[in-house]
Amino acid sequence: MFYRILFSIACVATLAIEANAQNINPERLQQYLKQFPDADTDKDGTLSMSEAQAYLGKMRGKKAPKAEPTSSATFAPTFADVHYGPHERNVLDFWQAKSDKPTPVVVFIHGGGFVAGDKSKAGGISKIQPFLDAGVSFAAINYRYRTTAPIQDVLHDCARAIQFLRNKSVEWNIDKTRFASYGGSAGAGTSLWLAFHDDMADANSADPVLRESTRLVCAGAGSTQFSYDILQWPAMLGEDNAKKYGDSQEAPGYYGLKTDEELKGPIGQKLRADCDMLGLISNDDPPVFLTVTRDAGPIMNRGDYLHHPKHAQAIYDQCKKLGVGVTADIPGLDIKPPADGPTKERDFLLKYLVPTSIKN
């Protein structure tokens, strides 16, 4: 125990030196992540420089920066922890924009690899208030983790949240025709899945929520994945990378199946196709905004594997090919938003949620 404590102290000391010098390379950050897994606060499997510095401050006993309010009393949602489905994580927060007309809604879907994270990741007043000021109501949702449900059910949780909000249109002063979603990583991929999937409304359902539309007018995706048909990943990102960084998620259990035969057979094919954002794109889909800050170099760790710009590039290229509106900010690939349009995700979402002809 004594030697392990000394080792940890040495690691922290080294981290302090490198963090202060701003020279921690990605490989070193991954080494520190193995030693200090709690430092990965957003649970995306990779340690950023800002996370390393924040963790260092915590280890040194520094007072953490005061967090801005999220769901606290100082910036409380209009409706908090509202259940949109039967599971304990089927809950959402809703901030209602002040308007004498039904308002558009933007839905934040958190990241975390479908195994971590929650709706508080939407941020505080600085993230939410600009939407409210523009007359757009704001929702942030939780969903089941894939540790308790297969990926297709997790995605359908998010679709149900959209339908639930539409079902609240009269009570919450919502315009059913103007919905958008955005998020990072898992939240990004889910937002694209919602944008590209055919409408999942079931007019004959006994559940009034499921009779509502799931369609969006636009979506934002930061550090997205290109598909949740994980059998496509090795071809896109390299067989060797898949073996090194794909780990246990690439298994039949990802879809609630038991064998490779099921995964590759008719049942698995159908499930995988329904989770394939890239394959779902069609020319009647809404516009999307893609952002990736990660370098486009070789894949060196699991974070690169999950968030490499190649993911977003595949979506970008397919949207261009099929005539779907797409704006992207991917510096690593020298892809930039056009100068005559929105250059930031929030401005992009507002462009389609609040057209200039509509006054709230």
CA distance 152 to 262: 15
Length of the chain: 360
CA distance 146 to 249: 10
Pair 37, 94 in one domain: no
Domain containing residue 129: CATH number: 3.40.50.1820
Q: Is residue 66 part of a domain?
A: no
Pair 54, 166 in one domain: no
Q: Which of 117, 121, 114 is nearest to 140 (CA)?
A: 121
What pTM does this model have? 0.82
The parent domain of residue 24 ranges over 2-59
The per-residue pLDDT for 17 is 44
Pair 346, 217 in one domain: yes
Pair 129, 277 in one domain: yes
Q: Is residue 65 part of a domain?
A: no
Pair 53, 79 in one domain: no
Q: Which of 264, 251, 50, 280 is nearest to 159 (CA)?
A: 280
The per-residue pLDDT for 251 is 86
Chain segment 152-171, per-residue pLDDT in tens: 999 999 999 999 999 999 99
The per-residue pLDDT for 150 is 97
- Cα angle 337, 120, 215; round to 5: 55
Q: Which of 220, 224, 141 is nearest to 189 (CA)?
A: 224
The per-residue pLDDT for 10 is 45
Pair 166, 221 in one domain: yes
- Cα torsion 125, 129, 131, 137: sign: positive
Q: Among 12, 32, 59, which residue terminates a domain?
A: 59
The per-residue pLDDT for 355 is 81
CA distances from 253 to 89, 142, 248, 293, 329 (A): 21, 22, 9, 31, 34
Type of residue found at 318: Q
Pair 187, 307 in one domain: yes
Pair 17, 108 in one domain: no
Pair 19, 77 in one domain: no
Residues of the chain falling short of pLDDT 70: 1-38, 40-74, 247-250, 356-360
Q: How many folded domains does the chain comprise?
A: 2
CA distance 342 to 135: 18
Chain segment 164-206, per-residue pLDDT in tens: 999 999 999 999 999 999 999 999 999 999 999 999 999 999 9
The per-residue pLDDT for 183 is 98
Pair 138, 243 in one domain: yes
